[in-house]
Structures are given as C-alpha cells and as structure tokens.
Amino acid sequence: METAPLLEAIHATKVFGGGFLGKGAGTVALNNFSLRVDAEPPAITAIVGESGSGKTTLARLLLGLAAPTTGEVRYRGKDLRGLSREERRRFLRDVQVIFQDPYEVYNPFYKVDHVLSTPIAKFGLAKSKDEARALMEETLNAVGLRPEETLGRHPHQLSGGQRQRIMVARALLLQPRLIIADEPVSMVDASLRATILESLRQLHLRFGISIVYITHDLTTAYQIGHNIVVMYRGEVAEAGDVEPVVKTPRHPYTQLLIGSIPSADPNQPWQRHELPVDAAAPVATGAVGCKFAGRCPCEMPVCREAVPPLFRTESRQVAACFLYRDRPTLDGADLDRVMAVPASPPVHTLVAGG
C-alpha cells in the first residue's frame, strides 16, 4: 500500500470576500488547486507566479494558517482541520516556513537568540543551556553564519540577509521534513540572494528536507527546483519537471513569462512581442473559459467556452491550454505523475552538542 504523502492540497479553492453562497463577486485566490509534497524522496518544488496569483494563499493553506473554502489539505493523509493534539504537534515540527519579510518575525526588543531559543524550549530540543547554545551555534554554522557575529545582537544590528538566514536556521533547527519558503529572497540584494538560496539548497542536500520554494522569479526557480508549478490567477498554467518546462515551455503564459525575463547578456536581446496594453483586467468570479484568454496571442473560440484541463504535453510536463487538446488530460490531483523524482541525496542529521 502506498503511504500517504507528507502534505497534500486536494482540489483546494480559496475565495475571499463575496456574499453568502457566492453571491456578489469574491476574489478566487486559489481555484481547484492540487499539490502533493512527499518527504521521500525529498524534492524541491518551485511555485512561480506573478503577484496576486495565489502563491501566499497556497502557502497559508499548506501551513494550516487558513482553511480552504472547498477542498482540503491533508497532512500524512489526515485533513489538517481534524488533527489530534499529538498529530498537530508533529505537524508543527515537520513543516516549517520562511516568509518573505524577516523583519516582521523579529521582536526588536529581543536579541536574535530569542528566535532560536524559543523553538528549542518549546519542543524540548536541548537538555541544558549549554546544549541549547551548542545547537544554536551548529544551526547557524549550517546556514553559513558565524555565531559570534550573530548571537547576542539585536535584529537591527544585522543585515537583511543575515536576518533571513537566521530564519533559515530556525527552520532547520526542528529538523523538519518540509520547508515552505514564500519569496525568501525577494527583499534582499543580488549578492546575498545567491548566498541564501545556496543555504536553502544545502538544507535539502545535506539533511534531506523537501522544499516548496515560492517565488515570482523564474530564474531562481529553475536554478533551485526539481519541479515547477507555474501559476496564473490561482490555477496551474503549466507544471512538471523544471527542465522541459523552462527549456520548452508550452503554455503561452509561461512562454510570455520566459520571454519577458531580461537576460544578463547584452548579446541576447529581449524578445519583442506586442501585447495588448491594458489586457490585464481581472477576471471576476464565475467567468468561464481560460483565465489567460484576452492576454493570449493564441486565443481560440474554445478558450472562452470551457476551462482548459491539464493536457500532458510531455511525459514530465502538463499545460492547461487548448492548444494541446489532442493530448491526454491529467487530473490536477495527479500532478505528481509528471514531477521529476530526484535521486535521493545523502542524509545527515544535526546532532546537539551533548
């Protein structure tokens, strides 16, 4: 029998606002979205989308910080809303989060040590003060920070990049199976971005942690992810193994996205394609058809008549686009069938000083 995945969103929809029973226009932040995250073998899944595409909503649903309007989120096979105390405690250790803005997580009145010592105390990770200190130092080292330059300081005495790396260290402390990182490097400079992403990737490689890396930046998604899900207005536009999706994108939106990224090579000029200027008008609840119709250079009549299902364009790639309607379809809940399975990396565990 197959074991239940670590964390799974199944046909999850989240609607904000709107009247009772869907009367009045609400915002469909996430629409019938499924995603399965396994702990074994650990993998890095990148979720890419422009702002407002529902990425943070997805993260909040996966973390149990918000409940889906319809559909469900399951942890080890059980709906998050029905976990026992014991299961909930395990969930809180297994699944860690890194948010975009580390400033909000820090209390300016406490030294940064607090961010690390709290989970150590809460989950009884160390038996003595010395052991706690050793564990803190070890975790900081694991994310490339020097303990003597970080412990004992106040948040404002550290750079944004250092603060964000402490959040990575905090996530690591609990030896989770999964880290959900929501735009972890959007607020830091390029030179630090690379360092932080490398420390995230090291957590995966050295400790066998799965990562859901949420970003608006397709380039870092490609660099760090095994798999990718490209979101458009709360839905999957394209998904699969990151190599085919980035190298041979099928969905017109993914193609537009990739063509819009300015290459850091002056000899590779930006693709020119004219777009309708103000076509990005929001789609109201209940509108039928493809959400990308209206902006799409390939639009066909069918695009306004029905919602495109996921078509399997390649063995490791699906696109929600009628251009591929001669291909077999895939239920969103079976997305993992097209995801790449990374070779299992060697797994180390953090050991406390004693």
Partner 1 sequence: MTPTPALLEVSDLRVHYHTSRGAVQAVNGISFSIREGERFGLVGESGSGKSTIALALLRLIRPPGKIETGRVVLDGVALRDLSEEGMRRARLAGIALVAQGAMNSLNPILRVKEQIRDGLNDHGLRLSGKAFETRVAELLASVGLKRDVADLFPHELSGGMKQRVCIAIAISLKPKLIIADEPTSALDVVVQRQVMDTLVAVQSQLGASVILIGHDMGLMAQVVNRVGIMYAGDLVEVSPVADLFREPLHPYSQLLIASLPSLHQKEAFQGIPGLPPSLLNRPAGCPFRSRCPHAMERCAVETPPLREVRPDQRVACHLY
Residues that bind partner 1 (CB under 8 A): 50-51, 159, 189-198, 201, 216, 218-220, 222-223, 246, 256-258, 260-267, 269-270, 275, 277-278, 280
Query: Smallest distance, Å, CB 66 to ligand ADP?
Result: 8
Question: In the numeric block, which tokens belong to residue 305?
Answer: 């008549």
Q: Which does 57 bind (CB under 5 to 8 A by kind): ligand ADP, partner 1, Mg ion, none?
A: ligand ADP
Query: Smallest distance, Å, CB 56 to Mg ion?
Result: 3
Residue 215 near residue 186, CB atoms below 8 Å: yes
Q: Which of 34, 53, 215, 255 binds ligand ADP (CB under 6 A)?
A: 53
- How many angstroms separate the CA atoms of 20 and 294, rounded? 29
Residue 52 as a binder of ligand ADP (CB under 6 A): the answer is yes
Query: Smallest distance, Å, CB 296 to ligand ADP?
Result: 20
Distances (CA, A) of 129 to 114, 136, 143, 211: 13, 11, 22, 31
Q: Which does 29 bind (CB under 5 to 8 A by kind): ligand ADP, Mg ion, partner 1, none?
A: ligand ADP
- How many angstroms separate the CA atoms of 214 and 212, rounded? 6
Q: Which of 31, 34, 56, 210 binds ligand ADP (CB under 6 A)?
A: 56
Residue 229 near residue 215, CB atoms below 8 Å: no
- Count of residues touching ligand ADP (by CB under 6 A): 12
User: Edge-to-edge strands of the sheet including 78-79?
Assistant: 27-37, 7-16, 70-75, 78-79
Query: Smallest distance, Å, CB 164 to partner 1?
Result: 12
Q: Which is nearer to ligand ADP, 156 or 272 (CB)?
A: 156
Residue 12 near residue 31, CB atoms below 8 Å: no
Q: Which is nearer to partner 1, 132 or 293 (CB)?
A: 293
Q: Which is nearer to partner 1, 189 or 334 (CB)?
A: 189
Q: Which of 6, 8, 44, 54 binds ligand ADP (CB under 6 A)?
A: 54
Q: Which is nearer to Mg ion, 15 or 151 (CB)?
A: 15
Query: Smallest distance, Å, CB 265 to partner 1?
Result: 6
Q: Which residue has the tokens 């890095």?
A: 44
- How many angstroms separate the CA atoms of 100 and 119, rounded? 20
Q: Which is nearer to ligand ADP, 45 or 139 (CB)?
A: 45
- How many angstroms separate the CA atoms of 77 and 4, rounded? 5
Q: Which of 31, 35, 44, 55 binds ligand ADP (CB under 6 A)?
A: 55
Query: Smallest distance, Å, CB 324 to partner 1?
Result: 22
Query: Smallest distance, Å, CB 95 to Mg ion?
Result: 18
Residue 215 as a binder of ligand ADP (CB under 6 A): the answer is no
Query: Smallest distance, Å, CB 100 to ligand ADP?
Result: 9
Q: Which is nearer to partner 1, 44 or 63 (CB)?
A: 44
Residue 191 as a binder of ligand ADP (CB under 6 A): the answer is no
Q: Which is nearer to ligand ADP, 230 or 245 (CB)?
A: 230
Contacts with ligand ADP, residue ranges (CB under 6 A) = 16-17, 27, 29, 49, 51-57
